[in-house]
Amino acid sequence: MQFTQLGRSGLKVSRLCLGTMNFGPETSEPDSFKIMDAALERGINFFDTANVYGRKISLGFTEEIIGRWLEQGGGRREKIVLATKVYGGMGDGANDGRLSAYHIRNACEASLKRLKTDHIDLYQMHHVDRNTPWEEIWQAMEWLVAQGMVTYVGSSNFAGWHIAQANEAAKSRHFMGLVSEQSIYHLNNRQIELEVIPACRSYGLGLIPWSPLAGGLLGGVLQKIAEGRRSSEAIQARVEKHRPQLEAYEALCKDLNETPADVALAWLLHNPVVTAPIIGPRTLEQLDGNLKSLEVKLDDASLKKLDEIFPGPGGEAPEAYAW
């Protein structure tokens, strides 16, 4: 396994992050345990979840699964970097969501109980809250850090401007601020190259891409359909919309003698701002398949071809759209 620092922090994390959103609704608890055990055995030390995951069963259910896994002992808690999130509604109360200091503290305490641990290594704001001032948010986060309940703070789904606002406010309070940003990012959605990635680089945030395979679109979907695998109507519609690109993409992957999923992940890992793409395996086979991406090296010609197939926004702002 390869490791890198999480943004400008001194924390070392694996180059692939284990996403747990499927644990509970899609993957049974025993199978979730097997995937987490296997990930740890294969060197993945970065586990990501959120307090709202598992809501198809009950809010917090995925955290509860992870908590029962950690409760087995064997040094599991000490061996992983545990990340979760706060923002989503966790009840019907007026203050059961968003980023008020009141909710941040209550949500953190509830996550700790479900996760059966006394601290969260990376506590991420799941979305920006435009109705709560940064002074209040950082006051709450500083208190959690001072109490030993949280070690690092990250963001998710922030714009570049939000990253700047958050870290400038933190700087004025002599607080470290954000160390990571979790954004949707893949070959077919490169919008964050305009401003989020430059902001991450400038402020020293590690980028944690979610949905790196575009919900399966970049995982060899055409080949799977040809083999007779069923797909949802939504996936079929997306395939038809992007069929020319996908045909060119899968042909390139075949020429490279690599799987489409490995190429998609390797493309992300090639970006120096990227810390670790989030993989969300539903099975052990999918987990082992993702690990191969760490060995894939894309040369300049392959990277150029990928840019031609999936053109981004044209670079960083404002040069991407102005002189």
Alpha carbons within 13 angstroms on the beta-carbon side of residue 12 total 6
What's the mean pLDDT in 29-46? 97
The pLDDT value recorded for residue 176 is 98
Contact between 238 and 217 under an 8 Å Cβ cutoff? The reply is yes
- pLDDT over 80 at 231, yes or no: no
> What is the rounded distance in angstroms from the CA atom of residue 44 to the CA atom of residue 79?
9
What's the mean pLDDT in 52-67? 96
Among candidates 8, 2, 80, which has minimal Cα distance to 48? 80
What's the mean pLDDT in 45-51? 98
In the chain, the domains with their CATH numbers are 3-216+260-299 (3.20.20.100)
What's the mean pLDDT in 179-186? 98
Q: How confident is the model at residue 49 (pLDDT cuts 50, 70, 90)?
A: very high
What's the mean pLDDT in 73-81? 97
> What is the rounded distance in angstroms from the CA atom of residue 153 to the CA atom of residue 150?
8
Alpha helices in the chain (DSSP H): 29-41, 61-70, 76-79, 101-115, 134-146, 160-172, 196-203, 221-226, 233-241, 243-256, 260-269, 284-291, 300-309
What's the mean pLDDT in 130-157? 98
What's the mean pLDDT in 174-191? 98
Q: Which residues are catalytic?
A: 53
- pLDDT over 90 at 138, yes or no: yes
Contact between 187 and 264 under an 8 Å Cβ cutoff? The reply is yes
- pLDDT over 90 at 323, yes or no: no
Tell me what percent of the residues of the chain surpass a pLDDT of 90: 93
Judged by DSSP in three states, 181 sits in strand
What's the mean pLDDT in 76-81? 98
- pLDDT over 80 at 165, yes or no: yes
- Summarised one tens digit per residue, pLDDT across range 86-129 is 999 999 999 999 999 999 999 999 999 999 999 999 999 999 99
What's the mean pLDDT in 308-322? 95
Mean pLDDT of the chain: 96
- Summarised one tens digit per residue, pLDDT across range 265-296 is 999 999 999 999 999 988 898 899 899 999 99
- Top pLDDT among 195 and 288 is at 195
